[in-house]
Each structure stands twice: as structure tokens, then as C-alpha cells.
């Protein structure tokens, strides 16, 4: 029988939630790495028992942990994230030059085909690759070295590279997103990059339609359609049908188009999910009602999903890496909140149940569907 | 033999409780103690000093014999009591909540 493993990163450790395919009864393992901030935990699609975790504190820096037995045991691997060459400067919040400084790993993206190959998105924004299971890391410096690099600026959470998507049809094509620089694409496995932000509109920058400067929060795709992308931007939910060459807004009837997460149903490429948040200055759901919104038409027309979710006095946030889907026949949707709840739906969002309620603030949620 | 006291998070990383005892080759300086510590526990590389610049991380402090050695040059000899093993060299995470 199939089973599900949910990998949860929180502000004070990691947790692994497991269930059989019915997804009614859950085992909770953790906290792992207790007291450390776990920005992201993700398993290898090629070898599900290979899992990588980003472990950090402001005090003692960054570690990468690796498990080869599905999370039962862990060992630290390499943490040498050195920028290639002289890092130079980007823009600080006030527009003045600021040196690139490594702070932490936000996102780990294991290769679709090789469990020893993994990409890491870091703050200050850069992408690194390891080809030896996380022991050694080399920067793909063409991204940070892009001509626009000196003009990138941080979002409120820091200048983080938080989204990495390797095209399921072409491993040399990689998409990344940086807050608050925008989305970028390489077609040569990371040697050269270019911004793909045409159609994005952001009020917080001098030229709202500029090539860079957009605070992209999250991008998602369905593996069967590698050129169709959905984006939750700082404000606006966006869609691209041409691998990021152009974007159009699909916010439609959402109560707020500010938010962090966006994800796609495992079997229905036009069914997408977001969690609206009130605004950039009010990071909780509109009216204190926690609602996932689902569109079955690839955007524009949205329906609220509320069954099992708190519909009063709810003031949590759902951060950008904190939603994931499983690939069981009845697609499961999962998300974690800054209030420490991890909600699961085993019926594509129609109804929800909290797997756990009182974890530390959830930073990331990933799901593995196991045979 | 040098006695080293790590902060709680780093004790967890190296699977040790209480003080750690390490042998230091050459003069007992801040640099040599940290070098020896990282040789014995490679997982500590980058957690106390930046692995590229070798500079002390901003939220890490070094104490010994009731003195703050955090801002001493790396090649300054540590106090005799530390070199003799009578007092521990203490690595501290800067005090802060959260």
C-alpha cells in the first residue's frame, strides 16, 4: 500500500509526519535538530530515502544534514558555501551598495534523476550545486554575475533565492526566483541566466514594469506541462504559458492577491491552490478566516476551501515553501502555518484536518509519496 | 591538554556532553585551539569561524578566566591557566532570546 511522508521544517527543528495512503492516522517524528532553524527539508525523487535538510542559526551558521534511510538517522555533510570570485555588491534596502554575504540556505532541490546531485538556493541570492551528495558545493555564478546583479535588492525576509525548478523535460533548463529581484531562467544548466519577468507589475519599484526588482514569492508547475507556470508574487497571482517569456495576471476573484504559496494538483494541471493573505503589511488571512483558494481553470476563477479550517480568529501566515501535494489517486494537499499547524486534505482540498497543531512556526512543507 | 566548553547547540552537533579535551600542537593560541577543535570535529567548520575568512562569527564570543577574548588577535596566546588545563576555554553564543 502506498504511504506518505511529510517533511516539515520549522523555526526550531524538523518533523517527519508519516501515514499510510488513507492519510487518516499520522505518526509524528521529531523534533529533529531541535532548537535550530530548519528552512527546508526535501527528499530525492530518484531515491526517496535520501533526504536533505537545511539547518541554521544566526549564531552558528549553516549546516546541511543528509539522511540515507528516510529520516531515521542523519549526518552533516558539507557547508562550504563560498561565492565564486570577489562577490561585489547588490543594492541594500535604501538603494546603496551592499556586499553579498552568505546567510543561509533557503531551499534544497534534489535532482530528478540523481540522488547525489542537489541544488541549493541561498541568501544573499545565489545558486549552488553539489554533485557528491552535499559534501562539496560550487556556485553557478552566472546567475549572481548577471549584469543586473548589482541592482538586485532584498525583500523583507532577506535577499533570498527561494524557488528552484528543474524542467522535468530538460535538465539543462532551470528556473529560479529571488526576492526581490524576480524570476530567472537558464537553458544551459546554469552557465548563463536571463530575467523572465515580462508582464510582472510591481508598485514598489521606480519602474513598475522593470526587467528586475519584482518580489516573486513562489513559482509552481505541473510536470506534464513544463512550460506552464503559476506564480504567487508579492501582490498578484500570475501565469505563464511560455516558460516565463511572458506573464499575465490570474488573480481574478481572490479576496486578496497577496500571499506566499502556490501549488498545482498532482493530476489536474489546471487545478491550482493559493492561500490569500491580507496584505504586505498584514500577514494573516483576510477577516481572520484561513481559506485555501482553488482554481480549476488555471486561475481567474477561484473558490474558497474552508471545511476543517478555522473560520474565525485565525491570524497565522503560510510561508512560501510551506505547501506541497502528494501524488496519490485522490490528490493530497498539505500546508503549514506560522502558528505551528500542518493541515492536510486527502480530497484535493474539499476538506481539511490538522495533522499536528502546536509545532514551532512552520517554514516549509514537502511531501513524498512512497510506493 | 586544553579544556573547551561549547555552547549547547554545538555540543549537540558533536555528540558530546560537558567539556571537551583536545591536544593543541604549538603555542596555545586562539587560532591553534580552534584549528585543533575543527580537526577533531570537522562538523564545527563554519559554525564558530567563517570557513572562508576565518573570522569569528558575529554572534559567537570567546571567554576564559573571566575575561572576554573575543576581540583578541587570533595568534594571541591564551591565558596560562587555559594552556595548563586549569581553566576551560569557553565558546559562547551571544546572549539573546528567541
What CATH number should be reported for the domain holding residue B53?
A: 3.10.20.30
Contact of A194 with A182, CB cutoff 8 Å? no
Q: Which residue of A has its CA nearest to B61?
A: A59
Contact of A314 with A285, CB cutoff 8 Å? yes
Q: Determine the pLDDT at residue A307.
A: 98
CB contact under 8 A, A59 and B52: no
Which of B 19-78 lie inside 8 A of A, CB atoms?
A: 43, 45-48, 50-52, 57-60
Q: Determine the pLDDT at residue A204.
A: 83
CB contact under 8 A, A80 and B46: yes
CA separation for the pair A256, A290 (Å, rounded): 12
Residue B96 CB contacts under 8 Å (≥ 6 apart), including other chains:
B59
Of the candidates A57, A76, A80, the beta carbon closest to that of B9 is on: A57
CB contact under 8 A, A59 and B93: yes
Q: Determine the pLDDT at residue B96.
A: 64
CB contact under 8 A, B45 and A79: yes
Counted domains in chain B: 1
CB contact under 8 A, B51 and A60: no
Chain B closest-CA separation from residue A249 CA (Å): 39
CB contact under 8 A, A61 and B57: yes
Q: Determine the pLDDT at residue A300.
A: 98
Kindly report the pTM of this predicted structure. 0.95
Determine, yes or no, domain membership for B9: yes
Q: Determine the pLDDT at residue A242.
A: 98
CB contact under 8 A, A60 and B60: yes
Determine, yes or no, domain membership for B26: yes
Range(s) of the domain holding residue B78: 2-93
DSSP state of A174: E
The full length of chain B comes to: 98
Contact of A61 with B48, CB cutoff 8 Å? no
Q: Which of A271, A260, A313, A273 lies closest to A290 in space, CA to CA?
A: A313
Q: Determine the pLDDT at residue B97.
A: 55
Q: Determine the pLDDT at residue A101.
A: 93
Determine, yes or no, domain membership for B98: no
Determine, yes or no, domain membership for B29: yes
Determine, yes or no, domain membership for B40: yes
Q: Which residue bears the cell 553579498?
A: A100
Element (H, E) at A108: strand A104-110
Q: Which of A119, A137, A123 lies closest to A52 in space, CA to CA?
A: A119
Cβ neighbour number for residue A224 with a 10 Å cutoff: 11
A288: helix, strand or coil: helix
CA A52 to chain CA centroid, Å, is 15
Contact of A247 with A231, CB cutoff 8 Å? yes
Set of chain A residues whose Cβ sits within 8 Å of the Cβ of B47:
60-61, 63
- Mutation choice for B interface testing from A59, A65, A80, A83 by most B CBs within 10 A: A59
Q: Which of A141, A152, A145, A142 lies closest to A90 in space, CA to CA?
A: A152
CA separation for the pair A353, A333 (Å, rounded): 11
CA separation for the pair B36, A300 (Å, rounded): 61
Set of chain B residues whose Cβ sits within 8 Å of the Cβ of A57:
9
Q: Which domains does chain A have, with CATH numbers?
A: 26-328 (2.130.10.10)
CA separation for the pair A326, A305 (Å, rounded): 18
Q: Which of A210, A198, A247, A212 lies closest to A227 in space, CA to CA?
A: A247
Set of chain A residues whose Cβ sits within 8 Å of the Cβ of B57:
59-61
Q: Which residue bears the cell 559562547?
A: B92
Q: What are phi and psi of A98, to 5 degrees?
A: -140, 135
Contact of A179 with A169, CB cutoff 8 Å? no
The string of pLDDT tens digits covering residues B20-73 is 999 999 999 999 999 999 999 999 999 999 988 899 999 999 999 999 999 999
The stretches in chain A having pLDDT less than 50 are none
Q: Rounded to 5 degrees, what angle do the CA atoms A295, A297, A298 make? A: 80
The DSSP string of chain B is: -EEEE--HHHHHHHT--S-EEE---SS-BHHHHHHHHHHH-GGGTTTSB-TTT-PBPTTEEEEETTEE-TTS-TTSBPPHHHHTTSS-EEEEEPP---
Q: Which residue bears the cell 530567472?
A: A184
Amino acid at each position: 500500500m502506498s504511504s506518505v511522508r511529510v517533511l516539515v521544517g520549522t523555526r526550531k527543528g524538523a518533523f517527519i509526519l508519516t501515514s499510510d495512503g488513507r492519510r487518516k492516522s499520522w505518526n509524528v517524528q521529531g523534533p529533529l535538530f531541535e532548537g535550530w532553524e530548519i528552512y527546508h527539508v526535501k527528499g530525492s525523487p530518484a531515491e526517496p530515502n535520501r533526504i536533505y535538510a537545511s539547518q541554521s542559526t544566526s549564531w552558528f551558521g549553516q549546516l546541511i544534514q543528509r539522511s540515507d534511510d528516510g529520516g531515521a538517522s542523519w549526518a552533516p555533510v558539507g557547508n562550504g558555501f563560498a561565492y565564486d570570485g570577489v562577490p561585489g555588491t547588490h543594492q541594500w534596502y535604501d538603494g546603496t551598495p551592499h556586499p553579498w554575504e552568505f546567510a543561509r540556505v533557503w531551499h534544497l532541490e534534489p535532482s530528478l534523476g540523481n540522488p547525489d546531485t542537489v541544488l541549493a538556493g541561498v541568501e544573499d541570492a545565489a545558486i549552488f550545486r553539489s554533485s557528491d551528495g552535499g559534501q562539496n558545493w560550487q556556485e553557478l555564478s552566472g546567475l549572481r554575475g548577471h549584469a543586473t546583479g548589482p541592482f538586485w535588492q532584498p525583500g523583507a525576509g532577506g535577499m533570498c533565492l527561494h524557488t528552484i525548478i528543474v524542467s522535468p523535460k530538460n535538465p539543462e533548463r532551470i528556473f529560479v526566483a529571488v526576492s526581490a529581484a524576480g524570476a530567472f531562467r537558464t537553458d544551459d544548466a546554469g552557465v548563463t541566466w536571463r530575467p523572465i519577468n515580462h508582464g510582472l507589475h510591481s508598485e514598489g519599484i521606480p519602474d513598475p514594469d522593470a526587467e528586475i526588482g519584482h518580489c516573486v514569492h513562489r513559482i509552481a508547475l505541473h510536470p506534464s506541462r513544463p512550460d506552464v507556470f503559476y506564480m504567487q508574487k508579492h501582490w498578484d497571482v500570475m501565469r505563464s504559458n511560455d516558460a516565463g517569456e511572458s506573464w499575465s495576471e490570474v488573480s481574478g476573484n481572490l479576496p486578496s492577491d497577496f500571499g506566499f504559496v502556490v501549488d498545482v494538483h498532482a493530476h489536474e494541471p489546471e487545478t491550482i491552490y493559493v492561500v490569500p493573505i491580507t496584505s504586505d503589511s498584514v500577514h494573516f488571512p483576510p477577516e481572520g478566516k484561513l481559506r485555501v483558494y482553488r482554481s480549476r481553470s488555471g486561475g481567474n476563477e477561484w473558490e474558497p476551501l474552508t471545511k476543517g479550517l478555522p473560520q474565525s480568529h485565525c491570524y497565522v501566515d503560510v510561508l512560501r515553501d510551506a505547501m506541497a501535494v502528494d501524488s496519490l489517486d485522490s490528490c493530497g494537499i498539505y500546508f503549514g502555518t506560522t502558528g505551528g499547524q500542518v493541515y492536510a486534505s486527502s480530497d484535493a482540498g474539499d476538506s481539511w484536518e490538522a495533522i499536528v497543531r502546536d509545532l514551532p512556526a512552520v517554514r516549509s512543507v514537502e511531501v513524498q509519496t512512497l510506493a | 591538554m586544553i579544556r573547551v566548553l561549547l555552547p549547547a547547540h554545538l555540543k549537540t552537533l558533536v555528540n558530546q556532553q560537558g567539556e571537551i579535551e583536545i591536544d593543541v600542537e604549538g603555542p596555545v593560541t586562539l587560532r591553534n585551539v580552534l584549528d585543533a577543535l575543527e580537526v577533531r570535529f570537522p562538523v564545527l567548520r563554519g559554525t564558530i569561524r567563517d570557513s572562508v575568512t576565518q573570522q569569528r562569527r558575529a554572534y559567537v564570543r570567546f571567554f576564559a578566566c573571566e575575561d572576554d577574548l573575543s576581540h583578541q588577535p587570533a595568534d594571541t596566546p591564551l591565558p596560562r591557566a587555559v594552556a595548563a588545563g586549569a581553566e576551560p576555554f569557553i565558546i559562547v553564543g551571544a546572549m539573546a532570546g528567541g
